[in-house]
A and B are shown apart, each in its own frame.
Chain A
Amino acid sequence: MPLPKCWWAGPAEYPNSRPETFRDPCIFVYLRSLHLRHFRNYRDQGITFDAPKTILVGENAQGKTNLLEAVELLATLRSRRASRDRELVYQEEHQAQIAATVERLGVAHELVMELRSSGRRSLKVDGHVLRRQADFLGQVNAVVFSSLDLELVRGAPEARRNWLDGVLLQLEPVYLGLVEQYRQILKQRNALLKQDPKDSVPLTQATAGDQLPQMAFWDAQLATTGSRIMRRRARLLQRLQPLAAHWHRVISGGRETLTLTYRPQVPLPDPQASPAVIQAQFLAEIRTKAAAEHSLGSSLVGPHRDEVELCINGVAARAYGSQGQQRTLVLALKLAELELIEQVVRDPPLLLLDDVLAELDLHRQNQLLEAIQERVQTLVTTTHLGSFDAGWLKAAQILQVQGGQLFPDKTGDGIP
């Protein structure tokens, strides 16, 4: 299959629907500069990005990934490597700062995120303190591809749920509130399951005429919020499926067909079903699992136990894929994510490739380069430049990372 030059001029199912102005470079969100203070192993380091592609070269544990992590935090407010903000702050300091200049439509904006070891964060845009964290989402969008993402194929369902949620958080601002609400209901419901058996008797055993046990109301909350999450996840997968299948076909040379299937823990006969139908299904599922939930003291029903099935030619990728095939699959998922964010937000997100580009063979490196062209600002980390395709090294800004400091690449042309 011939490669599309760029994806809006791709195969028939991706009609050329984008306005011409979209190619105007000044419309893109561009990360101009980044300044890290007391963040991870950085004391005080600024960096200006002067090319669409930046390659960070360095030995292990010098701070390459930390730099990408800072950008990921700006985009998603989350880090996949730290469970508490304390871990993000330079040892013996109390406060870290990530400052960035982002250019939108040619206008520069200052973003500042302050992280404290106490866990309190403050976020500023152009000097204004934001009252709500959610307002920061969308200032920068990013797609991250790191070696951790191979967990998407190999790992537990949680990895795939986190990926879906990460994409939804960037696309649908309401989703953050839904996720937080669901988490709170789960915590409360689990606490109730563990305590007073009087309050938590399963509905079916409650005697008629009595007050309903408190659990019935937590069930209703779980079903209402849970089904909202399920509908949004189902809708997202419907949109990602054709994009991921397309990229997978392109990268694998047309030999393999990728399918993504949403497998919600509460069976969803029809993803278009009305909220009432899904909620009824949800409550029915809670009734069948009631005994098990009570003996375990934790909630077994709901989207916190959803799964996304990844199949290549109808076979589960987890069992079947070779290393190379798994990388191809993850790359296809990431390109689908990138394309969807670009479609919805109308700006290509930043692409952060952490230690994965050099692992791809030259063919796949080329596919990736074709896909992102010059439109997508890309930050790449690697320990060695040797296995890079010349197309990547050409016109890239190359920086050496050493002990939390950045230096211009001494080798000049970037080839050691």
Chain B
Amino acid sequence: MYTRPLARLIEELQRLPGIGSKTAQRLALHLINRPAGEIEALAKALLEAKQTVRHCSICFNWSAEDPCEICRSPQRDPSLWCVVADVKDLMAMERTREFKGLYHVLGGLISPMNGIGVDQLHIRELVARVAREKPQELIFAISPSVEGEVTMHVVKDYLKPVAPTLRMTRLAFGLPMGSELEYADEVTLARALEARQEL
């Protein structure tokens, strides 16, 4: 049906997350319509990103430089760290522009079903880094799932011996800002009720 190179392009695009066969087709037909320069720039950007972007050796954020931009920044508060599961979560925290500390990316959550344990994550690196740099507080910004809970408690347990006085906190459970109470789902509302605060 399609000529071979176009079919191959569609196949490649289809392997990307969130892209089905229809979207892949649309993207391929769009790309083939663009000027050659634009496509070269895209191809170059892909290659360059792949060749230069590495994990930051300190916090495991993606970066072309090592240490990453955040770890090197003099404007950041080195006593306050945020522990996240994934770079996606780091980006979400950055979008708030409210957090001025450093990060540590774990690279996932503990999940025995998928063979992910302490050794598959950057937990030992975090322990060594805490022992070396002695921050004052770690904020766990981890999604509230079963796996997230276990990961947080395991990390806390690993940190206890090296930093007995380190303050460890987690994000609150609660209602999305600007939301209507009546539309909140029952589980969120029930958790918000449990974690209610003094007025």
Distance in angstroms between the alpha carbons of A220 and B110 in the assembled complex: 15
B185 within 8 A of partner (CB): yes
**Shortest CB–CB separation between residue B93 and chain A, in angstroms?**
24
Residues of A contacting B190 in the complex (Cβ-Cβ under 8 angstroms): 174
For A186, the closest partner residue in chain B by CB is B146
Is the pair B149, A214 in contact by a Cβ cutoff of 8 Å?
A: no
**17 A-B residue contacts at CB 8 Å?**
A132-B185, A134-B186, A174-B187, A177-B186, A181-B146, A184-B146, A189-B112, A195-B112, A199-B117, A199-B118, A211-B154, A214-B110, A214-B112, A214-B154, A217-B149, A217-B153, A221-B146
Is the pair B153, A188 in contact by a Cβ cutoff of 8 Å?
A: no
Residues of B contacting A195 in the complex (Cβ-Cβ under 8 angstroms): 112, 115
Write out, one digit per residue, whether chain B residues 108-122 have a CB within 8 A of any chain A CB (1) or not (0): 001111010110000
B43 within 8 A of partner (CB): no
Query: Of the candidates B115, B117, B146, B185, which one forms a contact with A214 in the assembled complex, judged by CB atoms under 8 Å apart?
Result: B117
**Shortest CB–CB separation between residue A73 and chain B, in angstroms?**
21
Instruction: Name A residues whose Cβ lies closer than 8 Å to a Cβ of B.
Output: 132, 134-135, 173-174, 177, 181, 184-185, 187-189, 191-192, 195-196, 199, 209, 211-212, 214, 217-218, 220-221
What 4 new A-B contacts, CB under 8 Å, besides A191-B113, A192-B112, A221-B150? A134-B185, A184-B146, A188-B113, A217-B157
Distance in angstroms between the alpha carbons of A72 and B102 in the assembled complex: 52
With A177-B186, A187-B113, A191-B112 as contacts: A212 and B146 at CB distance below 8 Å = no
Query: Of the candidates B112, B118, B161, which one forms a contact with A188 in the assembled complex, judged by CB atoms under 8 Å apart?
Result: B112
What's the A-B contact tally at a CB cutoff of 8 Å? 53
With A132-B185, A188-B113, A191-B113 as contacts: A218 and B157 at CB distance below 8 Å = no
Distance in angstroms between the alpha carbons of A209 and B149 in the assembled complex: 22
Residues of B contacting A211 in the complex (Cβ-Cβ under 8 angstroms): 154, 157-158
Instruction: Name B residues whose Cβ lies closer than 8 Å to a Cβ of A.
Output: 110-113, 115, 117-118, 145-147, 149-150, 153-154, 157-158, 161, 185-187, 190
Distance in angstroms between the alpha carbons of A121 and B157 in the assembled complex: 41
Residues of B contacting A181 in the complex (Cβ-Cβ under 8 angstroms): 146
Residues of B contacting A191 in the complex (Cβ-Cβ under 8 angstroms): 112-113
**Shortest CB–CB separation between residue B187 and chain A, in angstroms?**
4
With A211-B158, A214-B154, A217-B153 as contacts: A188 and B185 at CB distance below 8 Å = no
With A181-B146, A188-B111, A191-B112 as contacts: A217 and B185 at CB distance below 8 Å = no
**Shortest CB–CB separation between residue B67 and chain A, in angstroms?**
28
For B160, the closest partner residue in chain A by CB is A211
